[in-house]
Structure 1
Amino acid sequence: MQQPLAYRMRPTKIEDIVGQQDLVGPGKIISRMVKAKMLSSMILYGPPGTGKTSIASAIAGSTKYAFRVLNAATDTKKDLQIVAEEAKMSGTVVLLLDEIHRLDKTKQDFLLPLLESGSIILIGATTENPYININPAIRSRAQIFEVHPLTPDDIKLAVKRALKDKANGLGNYPVQLSATALDFLARATNGDLRSSLNGLELAVKSTEPDKKSGDIHITQTIIEECLQKKALSADKNGDAHYDVISAFQKSIRGSDVDAALHYAGRLIESGDLISLIRRLLVIAYEDIGLANPSACERTVQAVNAAKQLGLPEARIPLANVIIELCLSPKSNSAMTAIDNALKDVRAGNYGEIPLHLKDAHYKGAKKLGRGVTYQYPHDFPNDWVKQQYLPDKIKDAEYYYPKDNGKFESAFKVQYFKLRQSSRH
């Protein structure tokens, strides 16, 4: 029986890994390990289908070490012993141990000396937080790396590779994948490449070729059926996807809790967690901002929790913060302030930095007048002293216009105008 497409398309060298470039990209930690052939045991944790097995397979392929896969929950100590014997006979073995958080003490005690000696390079894979769910004895002997859901662009790249690959992919099939089907396939699986590839394979092998051209036309409707996900946030030209995101932000900005939850529900049901959490971060700082800075912090916390949990549980912390952002006081003054400053900069409306603010940490700076008259605010009462910071040309420029929406920015407003009056008048 032929293995699933996702299995067949696993990379055999580091350069072929899709996504996780912060770990496997040129000059990054795992890439450096492989290049130097100085592998150490590691634990990869993150959501399903994000490349944990692919990274292990590519490490083994790039270093030419034997590669074995076991499951900590279902495979026995005897299975580990077989791998250990192979390592003694043929040298180092790279062992991918799936669900490593379920490793019992008997298997752990057997593995520890093998890890110490380097005869087995352990790559543990888990969806659980290793700092909480993995025994410290194993954890202390392995580096811990987090893998993240793949982006839609990552998944599109992998899908296109699979469609071209004649040896392991679907290159021998005359597939015509529509742009909307590709876009939906890349977004609806929430960064899970395994689901995307296996859904694609089902679509290709279950669709009858066109009687005239012989081509297999894969539409968005076919992909929806094979993934069992409906395009609630995307239509034939993709506009509705962005319409939902726009409506989501505008509902929070307008303080309508029910509408915001409705549009969030559409994004969640379509599996588009990535777009939802990115937009939430934008909303927190663009629309709530200085009116409630702590809400911005809690949004970051909720987003991080959602990434750790994945769907469907991710909906819970996100619902909490969506409701809070809706009911929070609003202010866009910080965004407006930086945009005002950028407008001046882009128009060339800026002058020479005052001499007393210029860098004075080099020989000869004093002769040039750099930093000579600078006054260190911490040497003065209340850690403040009157001095000019803006260039002469724009010394009276105003970019920030505080609002009174919420106790935080109201306090900022009082302080801002107090300092402005003291320093510029």
Structure 2
Amino acid sequence: MQPLAYRMRPQRIEDIVGQQHLVGQGQIINRMVKAKMLSSMILYGPPGTGKTSIASAIAGSTKYAFRMLNAATDGKKDLQIVAEEAKMSGTVVLLLDEIHRLDKTKQDFLLPLLESGAIILIGATTENPYININPAIRSRTQIFEVHPLTPDDIDTALTRALTDKKNGLGDQQVTLADSARHHLTTATNGDLRSALNALELAVRSTDPDNKGVVQISLGVIEACLQRKAVSADKDGDAHYDVISALQKSVRGSDVNAALHYMSRLIAAGDLPIICRRLLVIAYEDIGMANLQAAEHTVAAVTAAQQLGLPEARIPLADAVIELCLSPKSNSGMSAVDAALADVNAGHSGDVPLHLKDAHYKGAASLGRGVEYKYPHDFPNDWVKQQYLPNGLVNAVYYQPKQNGRFETALGEQYTKLMAANGHALTPENDSKKS
């Protein structure tokens, strides 16, 4: 029997789950299908994100024949069969999986068929096509990136599978516990194939109760998916406890504790949560003390999202270790929060006349920008003048810390500038108004 993920493949472009930047109304692949002006393309992204589904839906929506081959295991003879079919019946949509492994012999055979339009090639790969695919193929295809599906996307697909009586599991009475559904949508890291296959295994291997209902619990899904929901409980409290513990461990510079809590999130497959939390930590807790650490964290998160789990754990571990051992400063967050507190309390005031927009005719007659001093016309590109509104002229929001060389240096410059403007930088004048 064909797997559930195979049976539930969409036959129309409208039925594709996720990838709306490509197949949504008005987007590029949707437009190609609507106009029946298909061009060969390469879809690249993580496994189970819909590359095959997009190809299947394109063929189904356009009524073209659809064939699937693998560049690594199928030979030139298999390509010749597809080419003959194209000659006999017209255009064929060919999904060529692992296209990055296409050798020169098969490539040379395909190129003229792509040029003539006899075969619409849809290459699928998890590798970066700009690095791993021959330029001759790249130049004849459009390259589209597919992204991991969101939990909501996977939830939609699970609902379809549970209600579809023809291709899905709708012929059985199945009750999927909320915690089990949540685990399927989050622990699969956007891989719909894994979620559907785990769901089918759970349903087929669970005996119905005395009312004929197949009850699927979190424990059953954990067993079928082979991933424990270690960071979540029924109410979600433990999940947020682990996230909180991760940030507090980094803030407290405890490398081992931070690695432990991140590993619990990794084991639960919570890659998006980890990435978001590390970005928050980099700017909230390290911030001005070491902006390079923030840059490194952004790079690590980008790499992790491209790699997916389990490989994503490697750049994430590097980031956590650096963030733990880095000097800490929350001065940036504290400064903007202090400024926001003034704004929210109604302490704003009018923008000084010399700072107002003066590009339009008649601005000078209104006094706009007339007395503005252009700093680059003065020594050291600086001149004393008022920037804050009159009611906030003595407000001080930023209080630099000295926990890292970078912020220490910025703090020295800040102190000089404040003194030149007639303000002594002391904690007592924080947010004082004249």
TM-score (norm: length of structure 2): 0.91
Aligned-residue offset at 1:314: 1.7
Aligned to 1:158: 157
Read off the aligned partner of 1:189 and give its amino acid letter: T
Read off the aligned partner of 1:259 and give its amino acid letter: A
Aligned to 2:255: 257
Q: Does 1:57 align with 2:56?
A: yes
Distance 1:270 1:371, change over 3 A: same
Measured against aligned partners, the alpha-carbon deviations of 1:218-259 in whole angstroms (never above 9, x if no partner) come to: 110010011111121122322211111111111111100111
State the secondary structure of the residue aligned to 2:18: coil
Q: Does 1:185 align with 2:184?
A: yes
Aligned-residue offset at 1:407: 0.6
Distance 1:252 1:97 in 2: 45
Aligned-residue offset at 1:263: 1.1
State the secondary structure of the residue aligned to 1:172: coil
Find 2:330's aligned residue among 329, 332, 338: 332
Read off the aligned partner of 1:61 and give its amino acid letter: G
Aligned-residue offset at 1:152: 1.9
Aligned-residue offset at 1:167: 2.4
Distance 1:117 1:362 in 2: 57
Find 1:284's aligned residue among 268, 282, 285: 282
Distance 1:127 1:98 in 2: 10
Aligned to 2:432: none
Read off the aligned partner of 1:257 and give its amino acid letter: V
Distance 2:390 2:34 in 1: 54
Q: Contact 1:14 / 1:55 at 8 angstroms: preserved in 2?
A: yes
Aligned-residue offset at 1:363: 4.2
Distance 1:303 1:129 in 2: 17
Alignment of 1:342-361 (within 5 A): 342-361=340-359
Distance 1:377 1:188, change over 3 A: same
State the secondary structure of the residue aligned to 2:43: strand
Read off the aligned partner of 1:237 and give its amino acid letter: D
Read off the aligned partner of 2:252 and give its amino acid letter: G
Aligned to 1:419: 417
Distance 1:160 1:414, change over 3 A: same
Read off the aligned partner of 1:324 and give its amino acid letter: E
State the secondary structure of the residue aligned to 2:120: strand
Find 2:291's aligned residue among 275, 279, 293: 293
Aligned-residue offset at 1:412: 1.4
Aligned-residue offset at 1:364: 4.2
Aligned to 1:66: 65
Q: Contact 1:288 / 1:328 at 8 angstroms: preserved in 2?
A: yes
Distance 1:250 1:379 in 2: 47
Distance 1:93 1:413, change over 3 A: same
Aligned to 2:230: 232
Range with greater deviation from structure 2 (342-351 or 242-251): 342-351
Distance 1:344 1:26 in 2: 44
Distance 1:95 1:277 in 2: 36
Distance 1:44 1:64 in 2: 21
Aligned to 1:198: 197
Aligned-residue offset at 1:110: 1.2
Distance 1:199 1:323 in 2: 34
Measured against aligned partners, the alpha-carbon deviations of 1:317-370 in whole angstroms (never above 9, x if no partner) come to: 111111111100111111222222223333333222333333344444444444
Q: Contact 1:72 / 1:102 at 8 angstroms: preserved in 2?
A: yes
Read off the aligned partner of 1:141 and give its amino acid letter: R
Distance 1:111 1:85 in 2: 12
Distance 1:381 1:30, change over 3 A: farther
Identical aligned residues as a percent: 76
Aligned to 2:428: none
Read off the aligned partner of 2:300 and give its amino acid letter: A
State the secondary structure of the residue aligned to 2:421: helix
State the secondary structure of the residue aligned to 1:124: strand
Range with greater deviation from structure 2 (21-30 or 65-74): 21-30
Distance 1:63 1:423, change over 3 A: farther
Aligned to 2:8: 9
Aligned-residue offset at 1:105: 0.3
Distance 1:15 1:365 in 2: 54
Distance 1:356 1:112, change over 3 A: farther
Q: Contact 1:67 / 1:95 at 8 angstroms: preserved in 2?
A: yes
Aligned to 1:80: 79
Read off the aligned partner of 1:392 and give its amino acid letter: N
Aligned to 2:147: 148
Gaps of at least 5 residues in structure 2 are 424-434
Range with greater deviation from structure 2 (58-67 or 302-311): 58-67
Read off the aligned partner of 1:422 and give its amino acid letter: A
Distance 1:33 1:391, change over 3 A: farther
Aligned-residue offset at 1:374: 3.3
Measured against aligned partners, the alpha-carbon deviations of 1:107-140 in whole angstroms (never above 9, x if no partner) come to: 1111112222333222211111212211111122
Aligned to 1:243: 241
Read off the aligned partner of 2:45 and give its amino acid letter: G
State the secondary structure of the residue aligned to 1:237: coil
Distance 2:119 2:310 in 1: 36
TM-score (norm: length of structure 1): 0.93
Distance 1:131 1:36 in 2: 28
Distance 2:383 2:92 in 1: 65
Aligned to 2:305: 307
Distance 1:368 1:160, change over 3 A: farther
Aligned to 1:127: 126
Aligned to 1:41: 40
Q: Contact 1:180 / 1:238 at 8 angstroms: preserved in 2?
A: no
Distance 1:108 1:243 in 2: 53
